[in-house]
Amino acid sequence: MADSKVPPTRDAGKVATLLDSPEIAALIAALEDTRWTGRPGYPIRAMVGMTLAKSLYAVPTWSRMVRLASEMDGLRRVLGGQVPSQWACYRFTAKLREHPDALRTCVDAVVAALAVERPGYGTVVAIDGSDMPAYANGQRYLYNHGPERERFSDPDAAWGHRSSISTRKGGGYYGYKLHAAACAVTDLPVAWTVRPANDYEGAEVAGLLDAVTARGARPEYAVMDKGYDASAVHAACMDRGIRPVIPLKRTADVARGDYQPSCEHGAWTFAGADDARRRTKWRCPSGGCAPASRWVKADRLHPLLPRETPRYRTTYAKRGAVEREFGRLKHDWALAPLRVRGLSRVALHADLTILARLAVALSDARPAVAGVATARAS
């Protein structure tokens, strides 16, 4: 919560600190092993520095980043004295897409280090999807009342739906969706994936939770909005030892209202959960029935954390973390607007943006190493 109020430092000194962090230094070393050279011979360190600086300074395009870096003496020094050309930047991102393991290893290391430096990181995750309109013509029809557009400049994107926020109306959009599991304690992303906008959000939950646990986080709860209330999503959480916290969608079986255990004494009350056996215990309100309690199989109608409990309400209230983080990534880290086309380029843009965000959070959480940042930047 603390870092959501305090804006992170964003200057050449911070870029230098990130480049010198063990996690980013390991990425640079891994990429150097691939013997890539950004003709005419820009060092990998300078290319990674440009990539981090682009997110730190929230610059949408490489051409603007190159111009900005050329005007900033401090940043140019951090990059080794020479600002790479925008063409070198394009070639470098192509290189990153050819070596996804190097970037993935780096993200894994940053997430693991954050779990050490920020206690609570990853103990509760909030999952949601957010719209990323494509860098393409977003007009669905060729002209007013005309035929639907059939050819798009970004054919990987798809039509999806987004809900209204603030003064913007909800509705259809053409593009992608960023699916993310954000830490509900620190707001920081733990795992994410980019899909075409028409993908069903619930289908991404199992993969996100697998990525969360593969990175060493052991969340107790996964919090999601009503749109995720499906048996498969609840099962995906419980299969991984995580309690789902999802409001009840009014489906036919809910409308019938006969799913809650009850007797002539009234509705039975929740009396505990057995996570290992995936059962919840319910008790007759008067205790006059025999048996006075029974176990019910956990499912979306009988979740391990019942929706009637105060703990459910306080946990669900943490869902805002993921929406706040989407807003922050888009507005403060230049996740939006997209200036690349194609799923793999959009996914790389999201990866690099979130890596910069996490690397800064890690650097801010780490005890300062006196002298290093200032020495490089000055």
Binding site for Zn ion (CB under 5 A): 263, 265, 284, 289
Min dist CB 235 to Zn ion, Å, is 30
Cβ distance to Zn ion smaller for residue 218 or 265: 265
Q: Which two tokens stand for residue 244?
A: 């789902």
Type of residue at 178? L
Residues 6+ apart with CB under 8 A from 138: 173, 174, 175
Q: Is residue 91 within a helix (H) or strand (E), and if so which, with residue range?
A: helix 86-98
Cβ distance to Zn ion smaller for residue 232 or 263: 263
Q: Which two tokens stand for residue 15?
A: 């870029």
Separation between Cα atoms, residue 142 and residue 25, nearest integer Å: 49
Beta bridge partners of 194: 178
Task: Give one DSSP letter per residue of 276-336, joined into a string.
Answer: TTTEEEEE-SSS-SSSSEEEEE-BTTB-SS-TTSHHHHHHHGGGHHHHHHHHHHHHHS---
Cβ distance to Zn ion smaller for residue 120 or 266: 266
Cβ distance to Zn ion smaller for residue 14 or 302: 302
Min dist CB 297 to Zn ion, Å, is 20
Instruction: Determine the length of the chain.
Output: 378
Cβ distance to Zn ion smaller for residue 26 or 289: 289
Min dist CB 288 to Zn ion, Å, is 5
Separation between Cα atoms, residue 306 and residue 308, nearest integer Å: 5
Type of residue at 184? A
Min dist CB 258 to Zn ion, Å, is 16
* 26 three-class SS: helix
Structure letter (DSSP) for residue 149: P
Judge contact between 27 and 103, C-beta under 8 A. yes
Min dist CB 302 to Zn ion, Å, is 18
Compute the half-sphere exposure of residue 361: CA atoms within 13 Å on the CB side of its CA: 32
Min dist CB 317 to Zn ion, Å, is 33
Min dist CB 268 to Zn ion, Å, is 7
Judge contact between 237 and 224, C-beta under 8 A. no
Q: Report the chain's C-alpha Rg in angstroms.
A: 24
Cβ distance to Zn ion smaller for residue 30 or 289: 289
Q: Which two tokens stand for residue 299?
A: 């499912």
Min dist CB 299 to Zn ion, Å, is 23
Cβ distance to Zn ion smaller for residue 29 or 263: 263
Cβ distance to Zn ion smaller for residue 272 or 287: 287
Q: Which of 314, 311, 302, 349 is nearest to 330 (CA)?
A: 349
Cβ distance to Zn ion smaller for residue 140 or 265: 265
User: Cβ of 267: how many Cβ atoms within 10 Å?
Assistant: 12
Min dist CB 290 to Zn ion, Å, is 9
